[in-house]
């Protein structure tokens, strides 16, 4: 172990091996193909989002990565270790926070962390210091010596996150970590994950709060029907244009003007809003805020009764909705 | 070695903390103390009441100890309650954790499956030992009544502790096998019932199967003896065909019974009391069953020849039949060995089922 550490420390390493590497992963439960060909690379020092509809295999994938399930086929490397053949080595480097987990209600938050410190074979004093540090990180210090049964759902969630971090894992697997968290805690979570990634941790996080992921993730992996659909966030056009939503009191006036100036647009099939009859919106690519300002000025000058212009949903959400369509 | 013990202790401490801090635990110990105390008091009163018949002023003669019967009743009752309580200590410890979502988070740590299983077993056993500890005062009370050697208390406690450990291990095995806590609890209770109730029932039901009509040499009154003569008969050898119970083939059915193991392992009381000693009674019975039928029987000595016609006692004619010597060979090691094997099997199943990564999942279960 010391040899690896020595190897890693001095070199900034142009080719750092990825924290998680998955190729051709398959896993069936009876007739159900939970994973049906997953390829994934999560870079070291980056936050990778794992996105997919319910039942797409996210949790199963994380169970395989955490070393709890044997895959039927395929190759998995966690920080260079195979969780099946080299389980202990892989588990020593993995922190895992499941989507549904329990706490020992009679134990205090500190005791839970100390227990896990012992379970990861940390010396007693190291574990105690680490527990205090983590309780501070997840803002549970004032609950440190109260039984876990008094914690709220969000507080338990934070305790679960602290528990996954006890042994300073190189690879962090989080299954829906934001569920049950209040807005303040979500921001804290985002900051914490960014900090961990900056310190060289590989973070793989699944969530349904796509706006959240959009802000914290460097990469995204999409799962649909047990398959990785796109290896990365490919939906963003190369010129950096994002889609904006332009709404007007008269949809016909708006579309007539757009057609007359030759703009690319598509109908807004999202939530229509509850404007007056005849009003409506379109989606169109806009390359940055300056273009948006110009677009707005042009529209107003042309007499279009503009009601609003704002960036449409994030890239992740759009990609996600495409998956939903595929599912149907 | 020290690392693995460290892991076992971590799990055991976790389990015990979780258990000890619930108030039900204290209530259970108090109820146990009261119930065992009540049984001790009742058996004390009953046994001293029995002795208070006419002819003996105010109780049993001094040389008869009342300790053995009280001790026997209390020890059996503690075993009975222990067999009822122990399954609840371990039979939900794995599937319960799995349902609560706390098991998988432990499994992914550096703890090995064996450490988790042994830690859980240790915690359940320590809890069971707490019940035993609460019963100790009453065993000591029986000791004070006299007739029970101190070593009997020690031996009985050791055997009780081992038997409860076995029940805990069986419960642990079922809790690893069954996805539902109610299922594993029922299976554990059924196993305990099979060992305690089913074993004597099956033994009794197999008696006809091991019964054969066989010739037996009998030392008996001559067939042509004149019963009106008033003279004591001259007994003689005869061969009679009669049903013979070959319990030496089925004694092991009794030997696996926890109560038999406990009774047989308990050192004999210092003096055969006039009031029956339940431990000694079972010990004698099971060892007789193991010895099997005697090939020669004495039908003469105790039946006839006690008195002549004018009422003077006559020394019984010397019987050529050996007085059947009670078998001294012990039965409990066999029974205890079987029990310990069952416990080891339970533990092995638990370790196997706790191993990760898992290949197969039980129907309807999630890993985490």
Please report the pLDDT score of residue B306 as a whole number.
53
Measured in angstroms, the CA of B21 and the nearest CA of chain A are apart by 6
Pairing of strands A47-51, A219-224: parallel
Contacts of B258 (CB under 8 A, 6+ apart): B79, B83, B163, B195, B196, B335, B339
Measured in angstroms, the CA of B349 and the nearest CA of chain A are apart by 18
> Which residues from chain B sit within 8 angstroms of residue A64, using beta carbons?
357
d(C-alpha A229, C-alpha A319), whole Å: 10
d(C-alpha B298, C-alpha B218), whole Å: 6
Q: Mean pLDDT of residues grouped by 10 in chain B (368 residues)? A: 82 88 81 93 82 46 69 90 91 88 90 94 94 92 81 92 96 92 93 92 88 81 71 74 84 90 82 66 83 75 55 57 65 91 96 87 54
d(C-alpha A117, C-alpha B13), whole Å: 13
Give the residue numbers in B contacting A (CB under 8 Å), as ranges.
3, 6-7, 10, 13-14, 17-22, 97, 100-102, 104-111, 356-359, 361, 367-368
Interchain contact, B17 vs A116, CB within 8 Å: no
- H/E run at residue A210: helix A210-216
Please report the pLDDT score of residue A285 as a whole number.
81
Main-chain dihedrals φ then ψ at residue B178, nearest 5 degrees: -90, 135
Q: DSSP label at B146?
A: S
* Alpha helices, H only, A120-250: 124-137, 153-165, 183-198, 210-216
> Which residues from chain A sit within 8 angstroms of residue B111, using beta carbons?
119
Measured in angstroms, the CA of B120 and the nearest CA of chain A are apart by 14
Q: Which residue of A has its CA nearest to B22?
A: A106
Contact A299, A259 (CB under 8 A): no
Measured in angstroms, the CA of B66 and the nearest CA of chain A are apart by 46
Per-residue pLDDT of chain A (328 residues; tens, 9 = 90+): 333 333 334 444 445 678 899 999 999 888 888 888 888 888 898 899 888 887 788 888 999 999 999 999 889 999 889 999 988 999 999 999 988 777 888 889 999 999 999 999 999 999 999 999 999 999 899 999 988 888 888 888 889 999 999 999 999 999 988 887 888 888 888 899 999 999 999 999 988 777 778 778 888 888 888 888 764 444 444 445 667 888 888 888 888 888 888 888 877 765 555 667 778 888 888 877 788 888 889 888 888 888 888 877 666 776 676 665 555 4
Reading the block at residue A88, the tokens are 């202990």
Q: Which residue of B has its CA nearest to A86?
A: B357
d(C-alpha B41, C-alpha B22), whole Å: 30
CB proximity A106 to B under 8 Å? yes
Interchain contact, A106 vs B358, CB within 8 Å: no
Q: DSSP label at B7?
A: H
How far lies B214's CA from each of B108, B239, B247, in Å? 66, 10, 14
Residues 130-149, chain A, touching B (beta carbon < 8 A): 147
Instruction: Tell me how far the alpha carbon of residue B87 is from its chain's centroid.
Output: 16
| N- to C-terminal Cα separation, chain B | 30
Q: DSSP label at B232?
A: P
> Which residues from chain A sit within 8 angstroms of residue B96, using beta carbons?
none
Reading the block at residue A310, the tokens are 């704002």
Contact A80, A16 (CB under 8 A): no
Name all domains of chain A by residue range, CATH numbers in brackets: 20-229 (3.40.50.300), 242-319 (3.30.70)
Residue with tokens 């903390």: B17
Contact B287, B268 (CB under 8 A): no
Measured in angstroms, the CA of A161 and the nearest CA of chain B are apart by 11
Q: Which of B13, B17, B110 sits opposite A91 (nearest CB)?
A: B110
Interchain contact, A70 vs B357, CB within 8 Å: yes
Interchain contact, B102 vs A103, CB within 8 Å: yes
Interchain contact, B109 vs A94, CB within 8 Å: no
Please report the pLDDT score of residue A152 as a whole number.
86
Q: Which of B14, B109, B367 sits opposite A63 (nearest CB)?
A: B367
CB proximity A115 to B under 8 Å? yes
Residue extents of the structural domains in chain B:
2-204+333-354, 210-318
Interchain contact, A104 vs B18, CB within 8 Å: yes
- In a mutational test of the B interface, the residue from A78, A118, A165 whose CB has the highest number of chain B CBs within 10 Å is A118
Measured in angstroms, the CA of B190 and the nearest CA of chain A are apart by 29
CB proximity A92 to B under 8 Å? yes
Interchain contact, B17 vs A91, CB within 8 Å: no
A111-146: pLDDT as tens digits: 999 999 999 999 999 999 999 999 999 989 999 998
Reading the block at residue A70, the tokens are 């044997």
Contacts of B248 (CB under 8 A, 6+ apart): B289, B290, B291, B292
Full DSSP string of B90-138: HTTTTHHHHHHT-HHHHHTSS--HHHHHHHHHHHHHHHHHHHHHHHHHH
Tell whether the torsion through CA atoms of A292, A294, A300 and A304 is positive or negative.
Answer: negative
Reading the block at residue B223, the tokens are 């067939």
d(C-alpha A65, C-alpha A77), whole Å: 8
Contact A258, A298 (CB under 8 A): no
With left for phi above 0 and alpha for psi between -120 and 50, is residue A117 left, alpha or beta? Answer: alpha
Contacts of A51 (CB under 8 A, 6+ apart): A206, A207, A210, A213, A220, A221, A222, A223, A316, A319, A320, A323
Q: Which residue of B has its CA nearest to A83?
A: B357
> Which residues from chain B sit within 8 angstroms of residue A100, using beta carbons?
101, 368
Q: Which of B17, B101, B358 sits opposite A69 (nearest CB)?
A: B358
> Which residues from chain A sit within 8 angstroms of residue B110, using beta carbons?
88, 91-92, 119-121
Please report the pLDDT score of residue B282 as a whole number.
85
B320-339: pLDDT as tens digits: 666 556 566 788 899 999 99
CB proximity A118 to B under 8 Å? yes
Please report the pLDDT score of residue A123 as a whole number.
92
- Please tell me whether residue B216 adopts helix, strand or coil conformation: strand
> Which residues from chain A sit within 8 angstroms of residue B356, using beta carbons?
67-68, 87
Tell whether the torsion through CA atoms of B354, A131, A19 and A191 is positive or negative.
Answer: positive
d(C-alpha A150, C-alpha A212), whole Å: 28
Measured in angstroms, the CA of A312 and the nearest CA of chain B are apart by 37
Contacts of B3 (CB under 8 A, 6+ apart): A121
d(C-alpha B330, C-alpha A130), whole Å: 57
- Please tell me whether residue B4 adopts helix, strand or coil conformation: helix
- Nearest alpha-carbon partner for B89 in B22, B142, B150, B40: B22
d(C-alpha B148, C-alpha A147), whole Å: 47
Reading the block at residue B98, the tokens are 């799995």
**CA dihedral defined by B160, B163, B165, B168, rounded to 10 degrees?**
-120
d(C-alpha A109, C-alpha A150), whole Å: 10
Interchain contact, A121 vs B110, CB within 8 Å: yes
User: What pTM was estimated for this model as a whole?
Assistant: 0.81
Can you state the angle between helices B332-354 and B150-177, rounded to 10 degrees? Answer: 30
Interchain contact, A102 vs B100, CB within 8 Å: yes
Please report the pLDDT score of residue B233 as a whole number.
67
Please report the pLDDT score of residue A13 as a whole number.
46
Pairing of strands A32-42, A20-29: antiparallel
Identify whether A81 is preceded by a cis peptide bond (ω within 30 of 0): no
d(C-alpha B299, C-alpha A184), whole Å: 95
- Please tell me whether residue A77 adopts helix, strand or coil conformation: strand
d(C-alpha B77, C-alpha B69), whole Å: 12
Interchain contact, A100 vs B101, CB within 8 Å: yes
> Which residues from chain B sit within 8 angstroms of residue A118, using beta carbons?
6-7, 10
With left for phi above 0 and alpha for psi between -120 and 50, is residue A37 left, alpha or beta? Answer: left
Measured in angstroms, the CA of B359 and the nearest CA of chain A are apart by 5
């Amino acid at each position: 172990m010391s040899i690896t550490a020595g190897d890693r420390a001095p070199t900034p390493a142009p080719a750092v091996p990825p924290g998680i590497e998955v190729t051709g992963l398959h896993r069936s439960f009876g007739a159900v193909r939970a994973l049906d060909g997953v390829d994934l690379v999560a870079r070291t020092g980056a936050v990778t989002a794992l996105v997919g509809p319910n039942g797409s295999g996210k949790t199963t994938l994380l169970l395989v990565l955490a070393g709890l399930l044997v895959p039927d086929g395929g190759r998995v490397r966690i920080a260079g270790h195979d969780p099946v053949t080299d389980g202990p080595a892989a588990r020593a480097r993995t922190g895992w926070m499941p989507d549904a987990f329990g706490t020992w209600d009679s134990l205090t938050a500190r005791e839970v962390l100390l227990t896990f410190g012992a379970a990861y074979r940390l010396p007693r004093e190291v574990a105690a210091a680490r527990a205090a540090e983590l309780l501070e990180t997840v803002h549970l210090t004032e609950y440190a010596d109260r039984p876990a049964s008094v914690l709220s759902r969000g507080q338990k969630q934070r305790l679960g996150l602290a528990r996954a971090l006890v042994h300073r894992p190189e690879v962090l697997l989080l299954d829906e970590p934001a569920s049950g968290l209040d807005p303040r805690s979500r921001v804290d979570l985002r900051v914490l994950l960014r900090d961990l990634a900056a310190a060289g941790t590989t973070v793989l996080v699944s969530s349904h709060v796509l706006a959240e992921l959009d802000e914290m993730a460097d990469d995204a992996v999409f799962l649909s029907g047990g398959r990785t659909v796109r290896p990365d966030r490919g939906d963003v056009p190369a010129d950096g244009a994002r889609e904006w939503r332009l709404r007007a009191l008269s949809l016909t006036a708006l579309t007539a003007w757009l057609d007359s100036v030759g703009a690319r647009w598509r109908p807004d099939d999202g939530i229509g809003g509850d404007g007056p009859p005849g009003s409506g919106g379109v989606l169109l690519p806009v390359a940055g805020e300056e273009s948006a300002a110009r677009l707005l000025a042009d529209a107003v000058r042309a007499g279009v009764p503009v009601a609003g212009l704002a960036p449409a949903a994030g890239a992740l959400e759009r990609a996600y909705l495409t998956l939903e369509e595929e599912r149907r | 070695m020290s690392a693995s013990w460290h892991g076992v202790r971590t799990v055991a401490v976790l389990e015990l903390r979780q258990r000890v801090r619930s108030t039900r635990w204290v209530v259970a110990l108090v109820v146990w103390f009261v119930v065992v105390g009540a049984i001790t008091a009742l058996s004390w009163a009953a046994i001293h009441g029995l002795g208070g018949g006419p002819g003996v002023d105010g109780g049993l003669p001094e040389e008869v100890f009342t300790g053995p019967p009280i001790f026997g009743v209390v020890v059996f009752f503690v075993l009975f309650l222990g067999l009822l309580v122990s399954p609840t200590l371990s039979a939900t410890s794995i599937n319960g954790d799995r349902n609560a979502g706390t098991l998988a988070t432990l499994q992914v740590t550096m703890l090995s499956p064996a450490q988790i299983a042994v830690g859980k077993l240790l915690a359940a056993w320590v809890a069971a030992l707490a019940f035993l500890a609460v019963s100790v005062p009453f065993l000591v009370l029986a000791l004070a009544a006299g007739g029970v050697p101190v070593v009997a208390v020690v031996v009985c406690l050791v055997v009780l502790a081992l038997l409860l450990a076995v029940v805990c291990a069986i419960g642990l095995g079922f809790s690893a096998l069954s996805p539902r806590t109610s299922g594993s609890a029922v299976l554990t209770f059924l196993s305990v019932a099979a060992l305690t109730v089913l074993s004597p029932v099956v033994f009794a039901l197999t008696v006809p199967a091991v019964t054969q009509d066989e010739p037996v040499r009998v030392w008996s009154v001559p067939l042509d003896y004149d019963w009106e003569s008033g003279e004591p008969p001259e007994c003689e050898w005869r061969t009679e065909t009669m049903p013979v119970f070959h319990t030496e083939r089925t004694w092991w059915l009794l030997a696996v019974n926890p109560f038999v193991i406990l009774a047989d392992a308990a050192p004999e009381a210092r003096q055969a009391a006039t009031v029956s000693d339940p431990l000694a009674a079972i010990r004698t019975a099971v060892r007789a069953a193991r010895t099997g039928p005697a090939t020669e029987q004495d039908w003469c000595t105790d039946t006839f020849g006690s008195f002549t016609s004018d009422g003077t006692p006559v020394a019984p004619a010397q019987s050529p039949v050996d007085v059947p010597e009670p078998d001294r060979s012990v039965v409990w090691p066999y029974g205890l060995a079987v029990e310990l094997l069952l416990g080891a099997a339970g533990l092995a199943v638990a370790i196997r089922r706790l191993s990760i990564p898992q290949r197969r999942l039980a129907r309807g279960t999630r890993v985490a």
